[in-house]
Structure 1
């Protein structure tokens, strides 16, 4: 019984996906945030390591899809700090896994950023599962189109 449940969950999780859809940015100067565009952030930092979040087993079991919008600062060491969930759907379901993954991302400064100036950015991480029970709500709230598997 346990083996068949495990195989079933693994099959379900194989149909899960998460990806980065958008980023927006602000540069940070001495703790003071200044508006910046996505291109300004890209002129300061280049993503070198991206770790996809783990799909929560309970969300996969319940057939839930959704997204998490995060705000964060890339510090002078190229690590994400000050992670904050600014929005998520369904509320609280994917937040922890999204933050855990973002903490493992790494950036390197560009040639235009020799002083490793920290910068604020945002990202939306999408969580999709095959046979989602909330597909219409997830597509509407997250502004995404969940592909047919």
Structure 2
């Protein structure tokens, strides 16, 4: 009987927690800080990067400015966090995200070589839809990341 009560209590607790779950809309904007017309590389996956689950669960939003190299093999190297807000959590997630990116040549006419890049990543939460979250993020990209 005691075992049954514990199982029933657990089942009720699970139901009430899941009914409290709500949808959180999030967006990540990628902005080239110093865009040039002579870029050699572009991200292989042009889709919007996925918002880190750890940041979303903690309700953390912010931005990071990162400098890095793209090797002649299309790998991200030498990532340097120039600035981030909030400092530790966004910087760590931004570096981790950027390390996973693969790059492909923009043109088959150019010989692949090392390229230095600087980008800004904006991590945005909120709104009643993904579209609204994207609008918030576009507004955030116009603010200072410091």
Question: Does TM-score exceed 0.5, indicating one fold?
Answer: yes
Scaled by the length of structure 1, what TM-score is found? 0.64
Scaled by the length of structure 2, what TM-score is found? 0.65
Higher helix share: 2
Provide the residue aligned with 2:70 in structure 1.
74
Q: Is the 8 A contact 2:27 2:51 kept in 1?
A: no
Provide the residue aligned with 1:121 in structure 2.
117
Change (3 A) 1:65 1:5: farther
Change (3 A) 1:106 1:50: farther
Q: Of residues 75, 100, 107 in structure 2, which corresponds to 1:104?
A: 100
Provide the residue aligned with 2:21 in structure 1.
8
The reply on whether 1:83 has 2:82 as its aligned counterpart is no
Provide the residue aligned with 1:27 in structure 2.
none
Provide the residue aligned with 1:38 in structure 2.
36
User: What is the alpha-carbon distance in structure 2 between the residues aligned to residue 72 and residue 87 of structure 1?
Assistant: 13
User: What is the alpha-carbon distance in structure 1 between the residues aligned to residue 126 and residue 66 of structure 2?
Assistant: 24
Secondary structure of 1:127's counterpart equals strand
User: What is the alpha-carbon distance in structure 2 between the residues aligned to residue 20 and residue 102 of structure 1?
Assistant: 11
Q: Specify the structure having the higher radius of gyration (Cα).
A: 2
Question: 1:78-102 CA distances to partner (integer Å, 9 max, x unpaired)?
Answer: 1111011110011112122211211
Paired residues, number: 120
User: What is the alpha-carbon distance in structure 2 between the residues aligned to residue 45 and residue 118 of structure 1?
Assistant: 9
Question: Which runs of 5 or more structure 1 residues have no equivalent in the other structure?
Answer: 25-36, 144-149
Provide the residue aligned with 2:10 in structure 1.
none
CA RMSD of aligned residues (A): 3.1
Q: Structure 1 stretches (4+) deviating beyond 4 angstroms?
A: none
Higher strand share: 1
Q: Of residues 18, 32, 46 in structure 2, which corresponds to 1:22?
A: 32
